[in-house]
Structure 1
Amino acid sequence: MQSPQHLLSRQRKRSKALWCCLIAVILAILILIIVPTAVVLSRKNRKYPDGLPAKVLLPLYEFPEDSAWDPLYSAIESNSNLDFIVIINPDSGPGGMSTAPGAEFSPGIQKLNNYSNVQTVGYVRTGYGTRPVMEIVQDIETYAQWADVHSSLAMHGIFFDEAAYEYSPENVEHLYIINQFAKNSTGIREPRTVIHNPGILPDARLNTNNTDITVTFEQSLKEFHKMDASLQESPFNRTSSAFIVHSAGPADLKQFVPELSYHAGYLFVTSNKKNYYSSFGKNWQKFVDAVPTNASAATR
C-alpha cells in the first residue's frame, strides 16, 4: 500500500500537468485570435500606411469677391489627382427665383466646372424634415434652370442640409421624394449626386437607396475624439460617409486626416472656430495636402 505522502505527491504532479495543459490550450487560442488579426492590420498598414483614397467635400459658403475663392483654385490646380465636391450656396440655397446665379457667382461657378477634378453641387436647406417638399423642389428647379442659361453653370448634384436624423415613416418618405426629384431633374447634370447632411450619425433606416453620401459627423475636433469609437461602429459604409470637422489646428492634420480616411471617403477639416464655411481656414492647404488620393496609394 502506497503511503499518503506518495499519493499526495502523485496528485500534485497530475494537477500540475493539467494546469500546464490548460495554459497551453489558452495560449494556443490566443495565438489563433491575435496573430491573424495582427497580420491583417499589418497588411492594411503596409498597403495603405497613409490612409485610404478620399475626396474633399467643401462647403463653399464664402461670397466670391476680392479673390476670395483663389485658395480653392490654387488647391485644385496643385492637386490634380485629388477630387473635389464643391457645395455652391449663394444664399442658403440658390438665391431667389432667378433662372441664373448672380453676376458675382457665375464666373466662379464656370471656372470650377471647367476643372476635371471638380464636381459642383447645389445647397438646399430641408429643415430636418419640416420644410415643405414644394419649397425644396423649387430650390432644386432653380438650380436645374442654371444649366438652361449655359451648360457651364450646371450643378451636378444636390447637397441637402439639415437632413432629418430621427426615424419616422414621414421622414423616410420626405427624404426619398426630394432625393428622387433631384435624381430625375434633367437640369441637374450627371452624376446627380445626392448628399444628406444631418450633422450627426442618423438612424440607419433613413439611408434610402437613392442617397449617395451622408455626412455622419459635423462637429469640432474635440467632439470627434469623444465620439471616435461610436463613429467607427457606424452602419454607414465608408464609401458613402462624409466627415466634416472644424476647430482643428494645423499640427493635427498630417496624422488626423489619413486616419479619418479609413472611416469616411469624403472629408473636410478646417481650423475655423466660428463661421466655419464662410472663409478658408489657415490650415486649408495643409488639409488638402494631407488627403490621401488614388495616385498616392498607387505609389506605395
Structure 2
Amino acid sequence: MVSAAAILLPLYIYPLQGAWDFVTTAVAKYPDVPFNVIINPNSGPGVTNAYPASDFIDAIASLNVYPNVNLLGYVDTVYMSKTTDKVSTEVETYKYWSTYTQKDIHLDGIFFDDIIDTWTTTSSSYHTTIAHLAHSLNLTVTLNPGTTVPSQFYAIADNILALENDYSDFEAGNGGKVSALGAQASKSSVMLNDFSGSEAQMKSLVQSWVGAGVAGVFITSGGYEAEGSVWDEFVEVVDEVNAGK
C-alpha cells in the first residue's frame, strides 16, 4: 500500500473569469486527492500589508471551500539576495489575508522559491529565520531549491521541492533522481515540466515516485503560467496511483 501523494500545483495564472476553472473542476472531481496550490499574484503577494485584488479574492475563496485544498503563498527569496525583513513582510501580508471578513481567503502555508542548496552559517541563519517566522504564524513551509539539499533543510521545512526539471533532462538522467532522496522522500516533492511522454509513461513515473514515498508531485506539458494539455490525465493518474490502481 502506497502513501497518498498531493498534487503540488504552481498556479501562476491571473484569475480572470474562468481561468482557474480547470483547478476547481479537478478538486471537486477528485476529493481524495490533496491539492497544494501555490498562489502567486505578483512574484509574491503584490501590495504588502493589503488584501489582494478582487479577482484573486474571488478565485482564492472559490478554492477554499474544498477540504482537499491547501493554499500556499509564493515568496521569491532570490537566492538570499532578498533581505529577511522583506521576506518577512511578504509572509506577513499573506497571513494578513486571513483577516478579510467578506470571503475566506486565508492561506495555509508559504512556498519559498529560489532557495540555495548549500547549508552554511549564512544560509542556515537566513532560512531558519524565514521558516521560523512562517511557522510562528501557523503557516507551513515549503522550500524550493529544485534539487537535493543537506538534511538540515528538512529540519526547518515541512516540504522541499527536491527535483524540478524539464522532462527531457529528467529522462536523460540530469538534475537528480528520486531514489537519491531516501528517507527524506516523505517530505519531498517532484515537478516535471514540458512533458512529452505518453499517459502510460506518466503513470509509470507517478507510480515510481509515490512508491518511493514522495509527498508531492506535478507534471505539466508546458510551464507554470497556463493549464497544460495533460492536466486532466495527470490528475486522474494521481488519483489512480493513490488508490493503488
Q: TM-score, length-normalised on structure 1?
A: 0.75
Query: Deviation of residue 290 (structure 1)?
Result: 0.7
Query: Aligned with 2:92: secondary structure?
Result: helix
* Secondary structure of the corresponding residue to residue 153 of structure 1: coil
What amino acid is aligned across from residue 19 of structure 2 in structure 1?
Answer: A
Map of 1:208-219 to 2, 5 A cutoff?
209-219=155-165
Aligned equivalent of 1:271, options 206, 212, 221: 221
* Among candidates 222, 227, 230, match of residue 280 of structure 1: 227
Return the offset for 1:261: 1.6
Select which of 78, 84, 88 maps to 2:35: 84
Q: 1:160 touches 1:197 (CA, 8 Å); kept in 2?
A: yes
Whether 1:54 aligns to 2:2 is no
The Cα shift of 1:230 comes to 4.1
Partner Cα separation in structure 1 for residue 183 and residue 55 of structure 2 = 38
Report the Cα distance in structure 2 between the residues aligned to 1:126 and 1:173, rounded to whole angstroms.
14
Whole-Å separation in 2 of the counterparts to 1:266 and 1:102: 29
What one-letter code is carried by the residue in structure 2 that aligns with 1:88? Answer: I
Displacement of 1:96 in angstroms is 1.6
Is the CA contact 1:247–1:270 (under 8 Å) kept in the aligned structure 2? Answer: yes
Superposed CA offset, 1:9-38 (max 9, x none): xxxxxxxxxxxxxxxxxxxxxxxxxxxxxx
* Counterparts in 2 of 1:286 and 1:295: CA distance versus 1, 3 Å: closer
Q: In the aligned structure 2, how far is the partner of 1:222 from the partner of 1:172?
A: 33
1:168 is aligned to 120
Identify the structure with the greater helix proportion: 1
Give 1:238 deviation, angstroms: 1.8
Deviation per CA, 1:240-264, whole angstroms, max 9, x where unpaired? 0000111112513122222222232
Say whether the 8 Å CA contact 2:206–2:241 is kept in structure 1.
no
CA 1:266/1:122 → structure 2, altered by over 3 Å: closer, same or farther?
same
> For residues 142-161 of structure 1, what are the structure 2 equivalents within 5 Å?
142-150=93-101, 152-161=104-113
| Residue matched to 2:51 | 100
Q: CA separation of 1:168/1:69 partners in 2, compared to 1, >3 Å: closer, same or farther?
A: same
Give the fraction of aligned pairs with identical amino acids, expressed as a percent.
27
Distance (whole Å) between structure 2 residues aligned to residue 54 and residue 228 of structure 1: 21
Gaps of 5+ in 1: 1-46
Encode CA deviations 1:38-74: one digit per residue, 9 max, x unaligned: xxxxxxxxx45xxx42110001100011311011011
State the AA in 2 paired with 1:201: T
Rg larger in structure? 1
**2:171 equivalent to 1:222:** no
> In 2, distance between residues paired with 1:279 and 1:294?
25
Tell me, in whole angstroms, the C-alpha distance in 2 between the residues paired with 1:116 and 1:181.
25
Q: Which runs of 5+ in 2 are unaligned?
A: none
Distance in 2, matches of 1:228 and 1:260, equals 15
CA gap of 1:228–1:171, structure 2 versus 1, over 3 A, is closer
- Kindly tell me the number of residue pairs found equivalent between the two proteins: 240
Moved more, 150-159 or 115-124: 150-159
